[in-house]
Structure 1
Amino acid sequence: MFDVAQGLAWPPEYGGRALRNAFYDRWKGREDELARNAGARAELQAARAGRDYDTAYVYAGQAVGTVRRERPAADVVADFAAVDELLGRFTTAR
């Protein structure tokens, strides 16, 4: 949806993930109309500049689909650090 609004010819086989918002909901199923709508493109650009994320896109990466529950950021970072430490042991053991 957001690629269409920006006029980007992104190949469908290289999909990205963006968080769903009001802009997406408004245009879902109307991509052909959206592609021709200069006002929607301007609206998206203005929202991005103004940090209005009810309209602007937030790309979330491929792993966002694996999120199952809300967690404090400190816990997530601690998990990353634990994995990094574990991998470091394997790397230095060689």
Structure 2
Amino acid sequence: MANLQKLLKQVLSYVRRNPDAANRHLRKAGETVKQRTGGKYDRHIDKALGGASRYLGKQRGRPGRGGPHGRGHGDGPGGPPKYRP
């Protein structure tokens, strides 16, 4: 169980530092799952990916992560990334 918690902390750390890359990986995983399931669960996959995308958008605006000194650059004029199937 300790290894799973350590892995989860590492994943969350990566997501906080690289929300755009995490969103790209998430989209690719979603498309792969859709293809493997033959479209049977598309509605459920889209809903899950939309929630995850909203979470990633919130990570971009966390204090101490954005701005010129952090790795992120804030939401910018376009806002947080959105999942688009």
Identify the TM-score tier after normalising by the shorter chain: under 0.3
More helix by share: 2
Rg larger in structure: 1
